[in-house]
Chains A and B, each alone.
Chain A
Amino acid sequence: MSSRVDRIGLLAVPGLAFLALVYALPLLMLLAKSIQTPDGLSFAEYSAFFADDYNMRVLMRTLRVAGLTTLLALLIAYPTAFAMNRAKGPWLTVFLVAMVLPMSLGVVVKAFAWSILFRANGFLNTMLQWIGLTEKPVRMLFTETALVVGAANVFLPFMVLPIYAVIRQMDSRLPEAAASLGAGPFFRFFNVTLPLSLPGVVAGSAFTFSMAISMYVIPSLIVGERQQTMSMLIARSFLYLRNEPLGATISAVLLAIAVFVVIFSSWLARRLGARQ
């Protein structure tokens, strides 16, 4: 019995070795750079980073954009996941293709497509002016709103699929049992459906949030250099400023946030799941 378990354990070795070599090792070397100074080990880079107003603004913007992106994606994904659960046969296929196909389309292609939609003489502005809602074109590209909308679009599948997976496993008799016990649609939703779908919401939100705080290509293409995010600061430090300790420090901060999100969400999921 135990030897069998050991042998199955062997199957994990290639994966672990790969991770150690291409992920853990370079990451540790990078983190080490953030506390290495000519005068020995020091956290000076960190205090300098947090003392800088500009950096703090970028950090706050990154968190805000990631938070809003997660919220928007959740608001769209939640009803979508329920619709998918109801969908049968060809409709389900349509939904799944609609979810998965855009993922295969590069972000760059999508971003340029949006610029056609959002730009001053783009489709959306032409429509707004035609209806008469605005006189002059509204600035949409290069705004935080456009970034949030764009990011939510890219990350939507990562929000929908975990929620869909949880809902699909939900016993369809539970809402019926609730109804037969006198619970109306609202009571049913808030006391049965919503709590049971929360593990999916937590997983989807954690995915989306951790991808949104570290996104680089999407903000570079949609808002450009004007409004920096953490990832853009990291890239600038390494590529233009050639300041490796600064880049390593910002990376460490971003990593700490991501690790916190993962730990917090798995704790939350376990707490929600423990009762089920």
Chain B
Amino acid sequence: MSGRHYLEVWDVAKSFKGTNVMLGMDFRVDRGELVSLLGPSGCGKSTLLRIIAGLLNADDGSVVLDGRDITHLPAHKRNVSVVFQNYALFPHLTVAENVAFGLRARGIAKSATSDPVKEVLSLVRMSDYADRPITALSGGQQQRVAVARALVVDPDLLLLDEPFSALDRKLRETMQVELKALLRDRGITAIFVTHDQEEAMGVSDRIAVMNAGKIEQFAAPSTLYAQPETPFVMDFVGLSVRITGRVTATQSGMATIDTAYGPVQARTEVGVGGTVLMCVRPELVSIDGGENTISVVLEDVMVLGSKTMLHGRASGEDRILCELPGIRTGLSRGETATLGWALEDTLVYEVTP
């Protein structure tokens, strides 16, 4: 089994003060892949990252990188670079000295570091800033330096802990495109930790959605979005209509579900009497009818430019959304609208009431 994947995390467990934050974590990444660990705070994504980096010891399990068991190696012997959330640049060193740090730590003479440092600084377009102190840099520039510092040592694996969260939205998007291209060009295997699903979808080949110390689903962004395996993934990745109901009748895999908005149909294995959660992506809901239709009072009509979002009045924990392309006029708050969607776009999860 071992050696099939570039990075293999086997059955890793970690507890803090008697509370398990991670139990039986298995996780594989292939060479050259860009992967994201996506989840809410406290889901264990940073714990997993720190265990892979060697900054935290796992209680149990093993970490294998490129066929080598690194479970018990200290961080400085792993050749795994980390880009921290706050970048953790050394404030007493200049840009070039920061970037040279990893080379110096590997015993390379100061004189021999200047060429590789120049090369990575030009890669991140920071050549003109080599002799500046760190404090004189903007957030985006600091991020570039942190990336250069992590890459100059030619790491076997690059770990990035919420690398874009300190940047404003526009800069974030630019940096994501830039960094992704850079990592692809260099063939770097990288793991991003993030709580931002758009960021994860933008930068990764595959995303591991984490919840309560477990991976709920590990798949390509498109799969996660179109075929979320659990309600958590459905909810965490993108927006969705959520309607709970009870199955009142079934006929050859087609169920009639009683909801607060009337009966609807969906394909499911759940038997009569079962409680289900029905989900539909808002952009798959229309106001022109469909195989299922419900009538709801519009609570809000948000014209967002590229799209218009309708919020329907929902009962309890339910959520009713409809996303229409472009600017829609003629719909207003308080009106009753008929929302519809196709059977094949309906996802059904059995839930315990």
Contact = CB atoms under 8 A, between A and B. Distances in A.
Contacts of B105: 178, 181-184, 187, 191
Contacts of A196: 90-92
Given A184-B76, A196-B91, A178 B101 contact: yes
Interface string B129-171: 0000101000000000000011001000001000000000000
Interface in A178-208: 178-184, 187-188, 191-192, 195-196
Interface stretch (A40-48, A168-176, A230-238): A168-176
A127 interface: no
B272 interface: no
A177 interface: yes
B237 to A, nearest CB: 29
Contacts of A188: 76
Contacts of A276: 91-92, 135
A155 B169 CA distance: 52
Contact of B133 (A173, A181, A275): A275
Given A176-B88, A275-B92, A182 B74 contact: no
Contact of B81 (A173, A180, A195, A275): A180
B176 interface: no
Given A171-B88, A276-B135, A182 B106 contact: yes
Interface in B37-91: 53-55, 74-82, 84, 86, 88-91
A181 B91 contact: no
A272 B93 CA distance: 11
Nearest to A173: B88
B118 interface: no
Contacts of A191: 101, 104-105
Nearest to B102: A181
B134 to A, nearest CB: 8
A173 B159 CA distance: 14
Interface in B201-226: none
Interface residues of B, number: 32
Nearest to B56: A176
A177 B92 contact: no
A87 to B, nearest CB: 17
B104 A180 contact: no
A168 to B, nearest CB: 15
A274 to B, nearest CB: 8
Given A176-B82, A180-B55, A183-B101, A195 B88 contact: no
A192 B105 CA distance: 11
A25 B88 CA distance: 49
A183 B108 CA distance: 12
Q: Taking each of B53, B91, B94, B159, which has the highest tally of chain A beta carbons within 10 Å of its own beta carbon? A: B91
Contact of A171 (B53, B86, B93, B135): B86
> Which of B53, B54, B88 lies at the interface centre, i.e. has the most chain A CB atoms within 10 A of its CB?
B88
Contact of B88 (A177, A182, A272): A177
A176 B55 contact: yes
B90 A192 contact: yes
A171 B86 CA distance: 10
A19 B149 CA distance: 51
A36 to B, nearest CB: 49
Given A171-B88, A173-B86, A176-B75, A182 B102 contact: yes
A78 to B, nearest CB: 18
Contact of B92 (A179, A180, A181, A195): A195
B153 A275 contact: no
Nearest to B53: A180
A177 to B, nearest CB: 4
A168 B102 CA distance: 25
A181 B88 contact: no
B106 to A, nearest CB: 5
A183 to B, nearest CB: 4
Given A187-B105, A191-B105, A275-B91, 20 more contacts: A173-B86, A174-B88, A174-B90, A176-B82, A177-B88, A178-B90, A179-B75, A180-B76, A180-B78, A181-B101, A181-B149, A181-B153, A182-B105, A183-B105, A187-B104, A191-B104, A196-B92, A275-B93, A276-B91, A276-B135
Closest 3 CB pairs of A and B: A181-B102, A183-B105, A177-B88
29 contacts: A174-B90, A176-B55, A176-B75, A176-B84, A177-B88, A177-B90, A178-B76, A178-B105, A180-B55, A180-B75, A180-B80, A180-B81, A180-B82, A181-B76, A181-B102, A181-B105, A181-B149, A181-B150, A182-B79, A182-B106, A183-B102, A184-B74, A184-B105, A191-B105, A192-B90, A195-B92, A196-B90, A275-B93, A276-B91
